[in-house]
Structure 1
Amino acid sequence: MQLIHTASAPSPGGHYSQAVRDGDRVFTSGQVGVDPGTGLTPADFREEVRQCLTNLREVLSASGAELTDVIRTMCLLTDIRDFGVFNEEYALFFGDHRPARSTFGIALAGGFRVEIEAIARIPHAAGEGAS
């Protein structure tokens, strides 16, 4: 098991890792919309979703994966009425790739309005015996 960390995404605010790689799988912790450079969360919900997805992409990249390698996401919204805006931004980031997804409306710690976690498959490098 390999712990994943990148300065390109917010550092964990508790006793957990940004992600854990186990063989050819990576399991991300929930990523939120905090700008890792400023420590601030955008006031606009759409911008918060974009930052959240950017952070997810950076954590995946640090593990050797991309958004197109994602198998499943779990998405958390504090106001399910924001689903339309959330879904638009999610679709822009994932494009034609459509991982399995669950989306829930819940209360989130820290005043965040969106959180996304993912499971991805790390692609094998050429010549590593991909099956």
Structure 2
Amino acid sequence: MQLIHTTNAPAPGGHYSQASRVGDFVFTAGQIGVDPSTGETPSDFREEVRQSLKNLKAVLAESGAEIGDVVRTMCLLTDIESFAIFNEEYAAFFGDHKPARSTFGIALAGGFTVEVEAIAFVGDK
């Protein structure tokens, strides 16, 4: 197992890695909407979603994966009523690529409103 770390995404806030690569697969931890250069979280939900997805992209890139390699995501929202906004940003981010996805309404630690994790397949690279 190769542990992945990049300064282009927020550092883990606990005892875990940003991602791990095992064979042909990359498993990311949930990425929150913190800007790694400032440590700030946007106050606007849409912007927090965008930052979360940007952080996911950075972690994937560090592991040798791209957005098109993602086969599954798990998305956590503190307010499931915000799903429509989340889905707009998610769709814009992934474009024509449509990985399998689960989305849950749940309480998140730290006051964050969104978290996205992914599994990517990099075996054909």
TM tier, smaller: over 0.9
SS of equivalent to 1:101: strand
Residue 55 of structure 1: aligned partner: 55
TM-superposed deviation, 1:104: 0.2
Residue 73 of structure 1: aligned partner: 73
- Work out which of the two has the higher radius of gyration on C-alpha atoms and give 1 or 2: 1
Matched, 1:113 2:113: yes
Q: Is the 8 A contact 1:72 1:100 kept in 2?
A: yes
Which ranges in structure 2 are unaligned for 5 or more consecutive residues?
Answer: none
TM-superposed deviation, 1:122: 1.1
TM-superposed deviation, 1:124: 3.1
Structure 1 stretches (4+) deviating beyond 4 angstroms?
none
Residue 9 of structure 2: aligned partner: 9
Residues 22-56 of structure 1 show CA distances to partners (whole Å, capped at 9, x for unaligned) of: 01100000000000000000000000000000000
Q: Is the 8 A contact 1:69 1:123 kept in 2?
A: no
Matched, 1:96 2:93: no
Residue 84 of structure 1: aligned partner: 84
SS of equivalent to 1:32: coil
TM-superposed deviation, 1:90: 0.2
Mapped to 1, the partners of 2:107 and 2:57 lie a distance apart of 24
Q: TM-score with structure 1 length normalisation?
A: 0.94
SS of equivalent to 1:71: strand
Sequence identity percentage: 74
CA RMSD in angstroms comes to: 0.7
Which ranges in structure 1 are unaligned for 5 or more consecutive residues?
Answer: 126-131
Residue 22 of structure 2: aligned partner: 22
Residue 34 of structure 2: aligned partner: 34
Mapped to 2, the partners of 1:103 and 1:51 lie a distance apart of 18
TM-superposed deviation, 1:123: 4.6
Q: Is the 8 A contact 2:25 2:123 kept in 1?
A: no
Aligned length: 125
Q: TM-score with structure 2 length normalisation?
A: 0.98
SS of equivalent to 2:27: strand
